[in-house]
Amino acid sequence: MTTLSHTSPHSPVRRSRPWTTRACRGIAALSLSVLPAIGHAIEEPSYSTVRTLDGIEIREYAPYTVAEVLVNADANDAGNRAFPILAGYIFGKNKGERTFAMTAPVTQTATPVKMEMTAPVTQTAAAGGFMVQFVLPKGVTVANAPEPLDARVILREVPPQRVAVIRYSGFWSQDNYNEHLNKLQSSLRAADVTWTGEPIYSRYNGPMTPWFLRRNEIWLQLAR
C-alpha cells in the first residue's frame, strides 16, 4: 500500500539505515497517512482483464511474491495487528536491512479457511486468526528477498491465478461488504462461472482516505 526508494522510482529495494523499532513504527504510521494522496502511483501485481460480467472483472494475475503473517485477531483488528509486523519487514527489519516500496492491496477473508499456495496477496482467513499478506515489488522473489528478522513473517510465491473481482467505494463496513459480495456471487452464478475458496477482501487505501474515494475489492478465485 508507496515508493520509498531514493535510487530510482523503478528500483524495488535500497539499503536503509540500521533498524530501530521506533523508526519502523514512525514510518508505518506515516505510510498509512500519506497513502491516500499518492495511491494512484502504488504498484500492484500485474494482471489482465480477460472478461467482464455485469459490472465485475475476470482477471488473470501473473506470479508475484508476498510477505505474510498470521495474527490471532478478529476481522476488524487483524489488519491493525499485522501491519506493523509486515511494515517492519519491508522497512528494513530483515537481514541486509533492505527497504522495499509498498504495494497494494492488503486483503482479508472470512474465517475459517485452509491456506492454499495459490492464495493472493491478502489478509486470508485461517483457523485461529487471519493471514495478512503484503505484495512485494516486481522482481523480488523468495530466492532473492532478504530473510525476515521476525520469525512471524513468511515469504511465499504466488503462482498465476484467475480471479473474479468486484470493485466499489465506501466505508469498510460489513453491510457494504455483504452487498457487493452478494452481487459478485450472483453475477458468477448467472454466468455459470464456478469459484473456489473464501472471498478475499482487498483494500487499496489507508484509513485517512475519504470513504467516497476508497477503492475496495472482493476477489473470488475461479476454478480452472
Read off the C-alpha cell for 193: 462461472
Closest CA to 88 of 43, 175, 151, 177: 151
| DSSP class of 94 | B
Task: Tell me phi and psi for residue 183, to 5 degrees.
Answer: -65, -45
Read off the C-alpha cell for 57: 472483472
What are the pLDDT digits (tens) for 25-37? 454 444 444 344 4
**83 inside domain:** yes
Among residues of the chain, what percentage have pLDDT more than 90? 45
**4 inside domain:** no
**177 inside domain:** yes
What are the pLDDT digits (tens) for 59-92? 999 999 999 988 888 777 888 888 899 999 999 9
**Domain containing 120: what range?**
13-222
* Model pLDDT, residue 33: 42
CA-to-CA dists, residue 9 to 5, 52, 89, 128, angstroms: 6, 32, 20, 39
In the predicted model, what is the mean pLDDT of the chain? 77
**36 inside domain:** yes
**6 inside domain:** no
Read off the C-alpha cell for 95: 537481514
**41 inside domain:** yes
**Cα angle 78-198-140, degrees, rounded to a multiple of 5:** 65
**132 inside domain:** yes
Which position has the grid cell 475489492? 217
**184 inside domain:** yes
* Contact of 36 with 208, CB cutoff 8 Å: yes
Tell me, what CATH number does 55's domain have? 3.20.80.10
The number of folded domains in the chain is 1
